Amino acid sequence: MILDGKSPSGPLAEKWDRRRQELKLVNPANKRKYKIIVVGTGLAGASAAATLGELGYNIEAFCYQDSPRRGHSIAAQGGINAAKNYPNDGDSIYRLFYDTIKSGDFRSREANVYRLAQVSNNIIDQCVAQGVPFARDYAGYLDNRSFGGAQVSRTFYARGQTGQQLLLGAYSALSRQIRAGTVKLYPRSEMLDIVIVNNEAKGIIVRDLVTGRIESFAGDAVCLCTGGFANVFYLSTNAMGSNVTAAYRAYKKGAYFANPCYTQIHPTCIPVSGDHQSKLTLMSESLRNDGRVWVPLKKGDTRAVKDIPENERDYYLERKYPSFGNLAPRDISSRSAKEVCDEGRGIGASGRGVYLDFADSIQRLGEDTIRERYGNLFEMYERITGENAYRQPMRIYPAPHYTMGGLWVDYNLQSNIPGLFVLGEANFSDHGANRLGASALMQGLADGYFIIPYTIADYLARTEPGNITTEHEEFGHSREKIASLTDKLLSIKGDKTVTRFHYELGRIMWDYVGMSRSEKGLNTALEKIPALRAEFWKNVRVTGQGHELNQELEKAGRVADFLEFGELMARDALERNESCGGHFREEYQSLDGEATRDDQNFSHVAAWEYKGADNAPEMHKEPLEFENVELAVRSYK
């Protein structure tokens, strides 16, 4: 089946304006008749709920945290892109659009990416008006810095806390609507199923994480804003609670899952220190503005940093990619780090690390300047490692970070299920096979503040408000299914913990579906994952009861979904016989080790349809057409 992304016709720069003129509107009096369910209250969810509430809709917002302020968006450090061209260095909306398309290795939809670049400037204005404390230069103007994959400085930032500050801005807008009564917030509530009535999304089933009670909520439309699935690797930069459950259960109800194999490995993370770890820590990509990445020239060189002279150091990113140097894109920088470590030139006890060195910048700019730019990041690094990065280089290594794959949506952010809209990292739409640095925050806020208010109105204008309630039989069926799953998990009483199963799945995923993939490795993963899943359902031990606070039960449901979803990821990676962006197949690379695309056969979105537990999923394709950019070899040299 060929999917239609429903992009507007006409010139690229006019598509969004054209679509907004085509969309139906809901008048202010009628908005009060509609209820919209928003699942997730990170940047995408909080901005969507606040904006839709301001418009007059009745919003019910759900998060599994105790407060929207704890959404994982707070963990974003380095900045948010916008094409304002304040430094006057040649930036433009088109250049941001092109950098995003190129960074995604020409595997994203042109119209969506251009719209993202268009609304980027509005986001900065919105956030400044909310009081977000962006960094400013000596004259008081908003400051910018560079990020990987770009040769201009377009990234707005608040030291190393940009995500946190942006989320506080969205949270303040959300809190205002909660006070006004247009938004009702349900914290400590986890969505466990979506309810489909007559092929339309009409509600959700949630578990109250404090009492264990399973509850139903009906609405006229549902917005999923539930983030990414990098925790399928067990160790990642994501919060430990981040999961795939909401999106995956929507997939099992008929929503297509697009490009699940597209995962981003971030190059600047604190290396793994041992099997005891439960997560990894991101060090902002912004550090690569002033830090130089290097390893020793000699294999097995274990000398202290001060004993390795300059002529015996390999600044490999500067050597391989002179045009971009240390600001090469994330996927390329990550693979380059793996490459030198595989050669035996990695640093640290494990040999899985490279240096990020600030000595030159401190000498050139002074320690005070570096401290002003990155002080909280250096402090965080020292707290975790016990090392002072002002005196010696940071040790970094790539780790799972962001996921470009997600539920398939059209240009209106609507999935193939009418009434189910998907925003932010939970959808697949804007980043292709590799996300441009500092664009996650941009996409989440663009979707929530400036896109969904228009597009969801078009759907609601064609929908009778309140025609489905929780008394409908589909809600009863969903509640019964969730209750049965809970009872099953609690009744197994095996010998192995949920965390152990998650750890073992993560090792399979990292070894065979991680930074480097091969046909042999992916087939191995497709053998090992079903075997591990079968063992899970026979031997997992979930302590506690269902009708109480039970974090082991929460984890068990999420890991059960990861054990199915990991197989879908591996299948998608196996079907894509090319290398593109973060999807690197060892069989498809150039003589110098660069990714080799196959535009003739794989210039499409792969969207998977669930066909039942015992059947292989069916792949649908959305052809990607490039009318405004020329497909080219992606080079940063």
Give a yes or no: residue 228 inside a domain.
no
Which pLDDT belongs to residue 228? Answer: 98
How far apart, in Å, do the first and last CA atoms of the chain sit? 39
Residue 447: which of 38, 98, 106, 25 has the closest Cα?
38
Give a yes or no: residue 271 inside a domain.
yes
- Catalytically annotated residues: 330
Which pLDDT belongs to residue 1? Answer: 86
Which pLDDT belongs to residue 110? Answer: 98
Residue 121 pLDDT level (bands cut at 50, 70, 90): very high
Which pLDDT belongs to residue 272? Answer: 95
DSSP characters for 294-351?
A: EEESSTT----GGGS-GGGEE-HHHHH-TTTGGG--HHHHHHHHHHHHHTT---STTS
**By percentage, how much of the chain surpasses pLDDT 70?**
100
Q: What is the pLDDT averaged over residues 149-170?
A: 96
Give the number of residues written for the chain.
637
> Is pLDDT above 90 for 113?
yes
pLDDT digits (tens, 9 = 90+) for 575-606: 999 999 999 999 999 998 899 999 999 999 99
Quick count: other Cβ atoms within 10 Å of Cβ 116? Answer: 27
Domain count within the chain: 1
pLDDT digits (tens, 9 = 90+) for 227-273: 999 999 999 999 999 999 999 999 999 999 999 999 999 999 999 98
Task: List the CATH number of the domain containing 320.
Answer: 3.90.700.10
Distances (CA, A) of 531 to 268, 501, 552, 574: 33, 11, 22, 18
Both structure tokens of 15: 């598509």
> Is pLDDT above 90 for 297?
yes
Q: How far apart are CA 327 and CA 79, in angstroms?
A: 14
Give a yes or no: residue 160 inside a domain.
no
Which pLDDT belongs to residue 456? Answer: 98
Q: How far apart are CA 82 and CA 438, in angstroms?
A: 9
> Is pLDDT above 90 for 637?
no
Both structure tokens of 514: 């991680």
Which pLDDT belongs to residue 274? Answer: 84
Give a yes or no: residue 580 inside a domain.
no
> Is pLDDT above 90 for 135?
yes
Give a yes or no: residue 472 inside a domain.
no
Contact 46, 424 (CB under 8 A): no
Angle at 410 between CA 407 and CA 414, to 5 degrees: 70
Which pLDDT belongs to residue 518? Answer: 98
Give a yes or no: residue 350 inside a domain.
yes
Q: What is the pLDDT averaged over residues 142-162?
A: 95
Domain that holds residue 289: 266-399
**Pairwise pLDDT comparison (369 vs 637), residue with the higher score:** 369
Distances (CA, A) of 269 to 75, 280, 353, 520: 13, 7, 9, 28
Q: What is the pLDDT averaged over residues 460-484?
A: 97
> Is pLDDT above 90 for 107?
yes
**By percentage, how much of the chain surpasses pLDDT 90?**
98
> Is pLDDT above 90 for 60?
yes
Which pLDDT belongs to residue 276? Answer: 87
Strand partners, 269: 282, 397
> Is pLDDT above 90 for 275?
no
The 3-state secondary structure of 432-478 reads CCCCCCCCHHHHHHHHHHHHHHHHHHHHHCCCCCCCCCCCCHHHHHH
Which pLDDT belongs to residue 4? Answer: 97
Q: How far apart are CA 139 and CA 156, in angstroms?
A: 16
Crossing angle (nearest 10°) for helices 519-539 and 498-513: 170
Q: What mean pLDDT, rounded, does the chain reach?
A: 97
Give a yes or no: residue 270 inside a domain.
yes
Give a yes or no: residue 348 inside a domain.
yes
Amino acid (one-letter) located at 199: N
Which pLDDT belongs to residue 612? Answer: 94
pLDDT digits (tens, 9 = 90+) for 482-520: 999 999 999 999 999 999 999 999 999 999 999 999 999
